[in-house]
Amino acid sequence: MNILVVAAEVAPFAKVGGLADMTGALPRAWSEEGHDVAVMLPLYGTIDVEHYGIVKTSHVVSVPVGYWTEYAEVWKGFLPDTSVPVYFLRSSEYFDRKGIYGYHDGFEDNDRRYLFFCRAAIETAKALGFQPDVIHAHDYHTAPCMPMLATQYRHDPFYAHTAGVFTIHNMAFQGMYDPVRAMEFGGFPPSEFYPQSWYEHHGSFNAMKAGIMFADKVTTVSPTYSQEIRWTNEGMGLQGALQKRAADLVGVLNGIDTSIWNPTSDVHTAVPFDVRTLAKKAVNKRALLREARLPSGAEAADLPVIGMVSRLTEQKGIPIMMRAVWDILEQRRARLIILGSGMREYEDFFLRAEERFPEHVRFVKGYNEPLSHRIQAGADLYLMPSQFEPCGLTQMYAMAYGTVPVVRSIGGLADTVTHYERSTLQGTGVRFHDYDESAVAYALDHALGLYNDEPHWTQVRTNAMQQDNSIGVAARHYLEVFSWARERHA
């Protein structure tokens, strides 16, 4: 099958969150199964062209925007250690700047940037002669590829049999644009924008809704989330659209790229280990404590370390964990190492905690890929009290590294972590249900109890490490969805 992936983030080139991990990992897995995959990504100013060996091709593609034409330079690289081509579309006007989306509210012209990119990706595939059986678009940024394919390219013989599959990684970001601008930049007839049309939601152009309505198949990143977005507020207002597409909506659980996230071969960690050499995890723990400039002597290393690697936003449940974590720190029952950045008030909280408990807390503000691996390898517990979580990857990374996840049982967290039961010796972590402070406190207390309770501590870590969360399962499920989508255009 020829698969064209169009995305605003692809690891390792441009990453903000889990979207990038998936768009980086799935093409590799499909290509290993013998499929032809091409990936399209904007050439952001932040991408280190030299480091990744990305070179300019001779292609400059004409991109219809509104009633005029713009141009995209085509640059080319490969997903690391694969023969999967990644085409980087360059437009100095849209992408030669620092940052991917821009801070907080995003760049003012994100509507125009991504509508341009969607159109450019479809035009580029044609210019390169890469005829996709499926265009796989991700999240609101590239959702407009779906209406473009269905309304502007369906009659082009090149795309006559191409199916469109749209994957929702997070309903919270929908791409609500000014309708006059978006319909024009996208080349959609203004007459198609009216109350409750496939482009419209509460008076705005809604890229996510258009993606949902025009795709042949819609997927989201976990089975539980695929239900939550239809039936609860997690649909963020688009429950109706999702209900209409219910027959074509599939939950495909994310997986992890074990060529990158693997404790036996991780280039970023102190020592390799696996489930049979779990004791070596202690070496990684002490190395992490040293790196974090926390006490790391044998006695100090006895205290459990709670790790977190996260965007610091409300979604990640920061408000409900503050009290519980503070109490635990006050009782000196654990250490906390947290890597992330986001809302000021949450950053301030962790800075305060660090000041108050200098021997027990390290807050590393910012984005740091190597350190994120070392936290997964060195921590004992991994806290993820999310308000909502489409899938979540970091709890799966934690499990792979024998770090016990403490999670709220919603979305993908419910699909990936089972609660450890002492009576059956089954389970891979600690789960709690309610979105409140006392639930987190209870769960952490329970987890700290497990830490001190052999053989259960070894058992839960072993169970976590033995759970197969690898990307291969997800990759095959997507291929199945692609073939269903193609049936509509055979």
Q: How many of the chain's residues bind ligand ADP (CB under 6 A)?
A: 16
The dihedral region occupied by 216, where left means phi > 0, alpha psi between -120 and 50, and beta the remainder, is: alpha
Main-chain dihedrals φ then ψ at residue 299, nearest 5 degrees: -70, -45
Q: Which is nearer to ligand ADP, 310 or 387 (CB)?
A: 310
Residue 387 in contact with ligand ADP, rule: CB under 6 A: no
CB under 6 A: which stretch of 112-120, 127-135, 330-338, 389-397 binds ligand ADP? 389-397
- In the complex, which residue's CB is closest to ligand ADP? 18
Q: Which is nearer to ligand ADP, 294 or 339 (CB)?
A: 339
Our CB check for ligand ADP shows the closer of 255 and 304 to be 255
- Which of 244, 134, 248 has the alpha carbon at shortest distance from 489? 134
8-state DSSP, 149: I
Binds ligand ADP (CB under 6 A): choice among 9, 21, 216, 415: 21
Q: What distance, in Å, lies between the first and last C-alpha atoms of the chain? A: 13
C-beta of 224: minimal distance to ligand ADP in Å? 14
By CB under 6 A, residue 197 contacts ligand ADP? no
- One-letter amino acid for residue 310 of the chain: S
At 296, the amino acid letter reads: S
Which residue's CB is nearer to ligand ADP, number 151 or number 368?
368
Decide whether 110 or 372 has the Cβ nearer to ligand ADP.
Answer: 372
Respond yes or no on whether the N-terminal peptide bond of residue 12 is cis (omega within 30° of 0): yes
- Minimum Å gap between C-beta 22 and ligand ADP is 8
**Which of 1, 2, 12, 17 contacts ligand ADP by CB under 6 A?**
17
- CB of 291 or CB of 327, closer to ligand ADP: 291
DSSP for residue 74: E
The least CB distance from residue 126 to ligand ADP, in Å, is: 31
CA of 338: how far to CAs of 20, 104, 349, in Å? Answer: 21, 21, 12
* Closest-CA residue to 385 (of 303, 462, 444, 329): 444
How far is residue 250 from each of residues 194, 223, 226, 243, measured CA to CA in Å?
28, 7, 7, 12
Is 403 one of the binding residues for ligand ADP (CB under 6 A)? no
Q: Phi, psi (5° rounding) for residue 331?
A: -85, 0
**Would you give the DSSP letter of residue 467?**
S
Asked if 148 interacts with ligand ADP (CB under 6 A), we say no
Smallest separation (angstroms) from ligand ADP to the CB of 309? 5
Using CB under 6 A, which of 219, 222, 394, 463 touches ligand ADP? 394
Among 224, 372, 416, 463, the residue binding ligand ADP under the rule CB under 6 A is: 372
By beta-carbon proximity to ligand ADP, the closer residue of 184 and 354 is 354
Give the x-and-dash track for 271-310 against ligand ADP (CB under 6 A): --------------------------------------xx
CA-to-CA separations, 327 to 103, 129, 146, 322, 333, in angstroms, rounded: 33, 61, 49, 9, 9
The answer to whether the Cα torsion of 207, 210, 214, 216 is positive or negative is: positive
CB of 350 to ligand ADP, least distance (A): 12
Looking at 367, 435, 442, 484, which residue binds ligand ADP (CB under 6 A)? Answer: 367
- Residue from 42, 392, 402, 429 binding ligand ADP (CB under 6 A): 392
- Residues 458 and 264: their CA atoms lie apart, in Å, by 18
Binding mask 25-54 for ligand ADP (x = CB under 6 A): ------------------------------
Length of the chain: 490
Which CB, 190 or 370, lies closer to ligand ADP? 370
Give me the DSSP letters along 380-434. SEEEE--S--SS-SHHHHHHHTTPEEEEESSHHHHHH--B-BTTTTB-SBEEE-S
Residue that is written with structure tokens 């932040």 in the block: 46
Q: How far is the CB of 339 from ligand ADP (least distance, A)?
A: 5
Binding mask 310-349 for ligand ADP (x = CB under 6 A): xx---------------------------xx---------
Residue ranges in contact with ligand ADP by CB under 6 A: 17-18, 21, 309-311, 339-340, 367-369, 372, 391-394
